[in-house]
Structure 1
Amino acid sequence: MTHPPTSVSQGLIFIRCVLAVLLFIHGVARWQAGGVAPFGEFLAAQGFPLGLVIAWAITLYEILATPLLAWGRWVTPIALLFCVIYACGIWLVHAQEGWFVVGLGRNGVEYSVLILACLLGLAWAHRPQRARIFS
Structure 2
Amino acid sequence: MGLLGAKAPPERAERALDVLRVTVALLILIHGLFRLVAGGITPFGVWLESQGFPLGFGWALAVTLFELVGPVLMLARRWTSFAALGHAAILTLGMILVHLPFGWFVVGAGRNGIEYSVILIVSLLTIAWAYWPMRRSAA
> TM-score, normalising length from structure 2?
0.88
Q: Does the 8 Å contact 2:70/2:84 carry over to 1?
A: no
How many residue pairs get aligned? The number is 129
CA RMSD of aligned residues (A): 1.4
Unaligned runs of 5+ in 2: 1-9
| Residue 73 (str. 1) matches residue 78 (str. 2) | yes
1:116 equivalenced with 2:113 (yes/no): no
Q: Match of 1:40, as an amino acid?
A: G
Query: Which of 29, 38, 41 pairs up with 1:33?
Result: 38
Instruction: State the match for 1:46 in structure 2.
Output: 51
Give unmatched runs, 5+ long, in structure 1.
none
Query: CA offset at residue 30 of structure 1?
Result: 1.1
Q: Which residue of 1 aligns with 2:5?
A: none
SS class of match (2:105): coil
For residue 106 of structure 2, give the secondary structure of its aligned residue in structure 1: coil
Larger Rg: 2
CA–CA separation in structure 2 for the residues paired with 1:65 and 1:127: 15
| In structure 1, distance between residues paired with 2:112 and 2:137 | 44
Equivalent residue letter for 1:56: L
- Find the partner of 1:104 among 109, 114, 128: 109
- How much does 1:38 deviate? 0.8
Contact 1:13 1:70 in 2 (8 A): no
- Give the alignment's TM-score, normalised by structure 1: 0.91
Which contiguous aligned blocks of 4+ residues in structure 1 show a shift greater than 3 angstroms? none
Instruction: State how far apart, in whole Å, the 2-side matches of 1:56 and 1:28 are.
Output: 12
Aligned to 2:96: 91
